Amino acid sequence: MTSAVILIIGGTVTMALIGYALYLGLQLKGQKLRQEKADKELGVELERNDRDARKSVQIIAKALMQKNLTETEAAMRIGFLSQKITASPEEATLFSVFQQLAEATSHVPILDDWLALDVIEKSRLTQERTAIESKYTEFVQASAEQLTRLRLT
């Protein structure tokens, strides 16, 4: 009789463990499906962000070529946006010029900090900025022209 009880208990424990293993397997499969869905959604979101950043870069490059922006302002904006783009090696080279100019002029105050400066300091910094820009102008303009043709997809 005791061996029958042990067999029943053993069978019950085994069935409970099999049931729990099946439950965990289903939970794991559900988690994997949710992760795959999240990865796919992230991929779609990254592609959309890349496309939007590329479009913004094109707009800024066109505005620069039309002299609606200073080279430094365009460099700051394109430098920032380029970080959101999965760039080819050729594109990375074009972005590099803007990043270098943005870095070279990063000490120049912007927005409210610029407005807070007196006229003499603004004049000095403007001269300094234009001198720095003149070193990059040829490369920036050539890169801007190529960026206007940036692939959007």
Q: What is the pLDDT of residue 2?
A: 84
| pLDDT for 103 | 96
Share of the chain above pLDDT 70, in %: 99
pLDDT (average), residues 104-119: 94
What is each CA distance from 84 to 48, 50, 51, 55, 153, in whole angstroms?
11, 6, 9, 12, 14
Q: What is the pLDDT of residue 4?
A: 85
| Rg (the chain; Cα; Å) | 30
Pick from 50, 60, 77, 76: which is nearest to 144 by CA?
60
Find the helix or strand (DSSP H, E) in which 126 lies.
helix 119-147
- pLDDT band at residue 3, thresholds of 50, 70 and 90? confident
**What pLDDT does residue 44 have?**
95
The confidence band for 153, taking pLDDT boundaries of 50, 70 and 90, is low
Residues 51-95: tens digit of each pLDDT: 999 999 999 999 999 999 999 999 999 999 999 999 999 999 999
Q: Which residues contact 57 (CB under 8 A, 6 or more apart)?
A: 78, 81, 82, 85, 147, 150
Ramachandran angles phi, psi of 64, nearest 5°: -65, -45
